[in-house]
C-alpha cells in the first residue's frame, strides 16, 4: 500500500508555515528516505512511550527506526516515558527539559515524539520551550493521536484544574503515521480513538459520518485500506479547519465538540485509566447532541443516530454508563469554568444543528445547563 502525503498549511501573514503528514503501512521501519533530510547531522532526542523498547523483540520496527537515526544523526539520546495521562505533568516536563539539556543540545537539535497523544503533547511542549524553541517530529502510535493530537501544533500538559491548560502552539516539521503500529494498541484504546474520527464527520462532513456508519465493522477488524481512508480523511478535515485559525481564535474551536463535557468527565477519574479520553469524549459528544436537541437546535432523530453509532462501537454514551467515578452537577459546572474556550467568564459549548454541522454557542445559559445535567446524572 503506497503512502499518502497530506500537506498542512496555515494562512499566516507573519510566516509561510506548512508541513507534510505521511500516511501508510510499515512507514516506521521503512522511513529512511522520509526521515533522512529531517535528521541528517543533527542531535536527536527520541522521547518515546516506554512500551517501545530496544530490549523488546516484539518492537522490531522501533529497533529498526533507531538504527536509521543512528546512521544519519550526529547523536541519538532516548528518553522513555509512560504513555498514561499522569505523564502530562510539570514534574515530567522538567525531567525532559533537564535530561535534554544534559545532552548538550543546540538550536539545530531535534526532538522526535514516538508514542500516543500524551507523549506527543509533552514532547512537543518541551520542544517549544527548550532553547526558546527547537524543531520536532511527530510519530503517533495510537489512532487518537494519528487523527487528532499529532496534527495542528497543540502541545501541553495538564493542570490540577483541568486538561491541557498549560502549553503552547508549536507546529512539527513533519508527522509520520504508520498504520501498522495500531496493532500494538489494546482494543479499548483503538476503539476510543475512533471517537475523534467520528467527530470529524459530525462537525464537518455528513458523508464521512455515513461512511463510518456503513463500514464500522471492517474498521474494527483493522482493515488496512479502510483505516488508511479514515485516517487520511480525518487529517484532511482537520487541516482544512485549522489553516485559517492556527491559534484557535475562531472556527478551530469546533474541533472541541464533546470536549467540554469530556475533559470534565476525565478529570473526575484523576487520569488514572478509569475512564480514558476517547470514552469521555464519546459521552461528551452524546451530551452535546442531547443538549442541542433540548435547546431546539437539533432533531431527536439525529441524536439517536449519533448515540447508536457509538453504541455499535461499544463506547459509553451516557453519564449513567460511567460507574467508576462519582459525578455531580455542581462539580461538573465548576470544572466547566476552566475550559479554554470560555470568554469573559461565560461558558462556551460546541453544539450541532445536524450531523455534519456544528456551531459555537457562547454565553451558555446556566439554568438550562444545570437542568440538563440534573436530568442526565
Q: What does the pLDDT look like over 128-158, one tens digit per residue? A: 999 999 999 999 999 999 999 999 999 999 9
- Mapped onto helix, strand or coil, the DSSP state of residue 346 is strand
**CA 106/CA 175 separation, integer angstroms:** 22
Q: Would you identify the CATH topology of the domain 187-376? A: Dehydroquinate synthase-like, alpha domain (1.20.1090)
Name the helix (H) or strand (E) containing 361.
strand 357-361
Instruction: Indicate if the pLDDT at residue 188 is higher than 60.
Output: yes
Query: What average pLDDT does the chain have?
Result: 94
- In this prediction, residues 222-229 reach a mean pLDDT of 96
- Mapped onto helix, strand or coil, the DSSP state of residue 108 is coil
Asked if 103 contacts 43 with a C-beta cutoff of 8 angstroms, the reply is: yes
Q: What does the pLDDT look like over 2-12, one tens digit per residue? A: 679 999 988 87
> Which pLDDT belongs to residue 14?
57
**CA 151/CA 172 separation, integer angstroms:** 8
Going from N- to C-terminal start, the domains of the chain cover 4-184, 187-376
Residue of 248, 271, 280, 218 whose CA lies nearest to 360 = 248
Lowest mean pLDDT among 211-215, 246-250, 291-295: 246-250
Kindly give the interhelix angle for 187-204 and 206-220, rounded to the nearest 10 degrees: 160
Other Cβ atoms less than 10 A from the Cβ of 362: the count is: 12
By CB atoms closer than 10 A (0-12, 13-18, 19+), residue 64 is: middle
Asked if 145 contacts 117 with a C-beta cutoff of 8 angstroms, the reply is: yes
DSSP 230-263: HHHHHHHHHHHHHTT-TT-SSGGGGGGTTHHHHH
> Which pLDDT belongs to residue 163?
85
CATH 3.40.50.1370 for domain 4-184: no
Neighbouring-strand partners of residue 352: 358
Supply the pTM of this predicted model: 0.94
Residue of 373, 286, 297 whose CA lies nearest to 329 = 373
Instruction: Indicate if the pLDDT at residue 166 is higher than 90.
Output: yes
More confident residue, 92 or 324: 92
Amino acid at each position: 500500500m503506497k503512502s499518502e502525503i497530506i500537506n498542512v498549511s496555515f494562512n499566516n501573514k507573519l510566516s509561510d508555515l506548512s508541513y507534510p503528514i505521511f500516511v501508510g503501512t510499515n512507514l516506521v521501519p521503512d522511513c529512511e528516505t522520509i526521515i533522512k533530510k529531517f535528521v541528517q547531522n543533527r542531535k536527536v532526542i527520541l522521547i518515546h512511550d516506554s512500551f517501545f523498547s530496544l530490549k523488546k523483540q516484539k518492537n522490531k520496527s522501533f529497533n529498526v527506526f533507531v538504527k536509521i537515526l543512528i546512521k544519519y544523526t550526529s547523536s541519538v539520546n532516548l528518553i522513555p516515558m509512560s504513555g498514561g495521562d499522569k505523564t502530562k505533568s510539570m514534574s515530567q516536563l522538567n525531567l525532559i527539559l533537564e535530561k535534554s539539556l544534559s545532552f548538550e543540545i543546540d538550536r539545530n537539535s531535534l526532538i522526535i515524539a514516538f508514542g500516543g497523544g500524551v507523549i506527543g503533547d509533552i514532547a512537543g511542549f518541551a520542544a517549544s520551550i527548550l532553547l526558546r524553541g527547537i524543531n520536532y517530529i511527530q510519530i503517533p502510535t495510537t489512532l487518537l493521536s494519528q487523527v487528532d493530537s499529532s496534527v495542528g501544533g497543540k502541545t501541553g500538559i495538564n493542570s490540577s484544574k483541568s486538561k491541557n491548560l498549560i502549553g503552547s502552539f508549536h507546529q512539527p516539521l513533519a508527522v509520520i503515521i504508520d498504520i501498522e503500529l495500531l496493532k500494538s494498541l489494546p482494543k479499548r484504546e483503538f476503539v476510543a480513538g475512533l471517537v475523534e474520527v467520528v467527530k470529524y464527520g459530525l462537525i464537518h462532513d455528513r458523508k464521512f459520518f455515513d461512511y463510518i456508519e456503513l463500514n464500522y465493522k471492517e474498521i474494527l477488524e483493522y482493515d488496512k485500506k479502510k483505516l488508511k481512508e479514515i485516517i487520511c480523511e480525518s487529517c484532511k478535515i482537520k487541516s482544512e479547519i485549522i489553516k485559517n485559525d492556527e491559534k484557535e481564535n475562531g472556527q478551530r474551536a469546533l474541533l472541541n465538540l464533546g470536549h467540554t463535557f469530556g475533559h470534565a468527565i476525565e478529570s473526575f477519574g484523576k487520569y488514572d485509566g478509569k475512564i480514558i479520553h476517547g470514552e469521555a469524549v464519546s459521552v461528551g459528544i452524546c451530551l452535546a447532541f442531547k443538549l442541542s436537541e433540548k435547546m431546539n437546535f437539533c432533531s431527536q432523530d439525529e441524536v439517536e443516530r449519533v448515540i447508536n453509532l457509538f453504541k455499535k462501537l461499544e463506547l459509553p454514551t451516557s453519564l449513567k454508563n460511567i460507574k467508576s467515578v462519582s459525578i455531580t452537577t455542581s462539580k461538573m459546572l465548576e470544572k466547566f469554568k476552566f475550559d479554554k474556550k470560555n470568554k469573559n467568564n461565560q461558558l462556551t459549548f460546541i453544539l450541532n444543528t445536524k450531523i455534519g454541522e456544528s456551531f459555537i454557542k457562547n454565553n451558555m445559559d446556566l439554568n438550562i445547563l444545570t437542568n440538563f445535567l440534573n436530568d442526565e446524572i
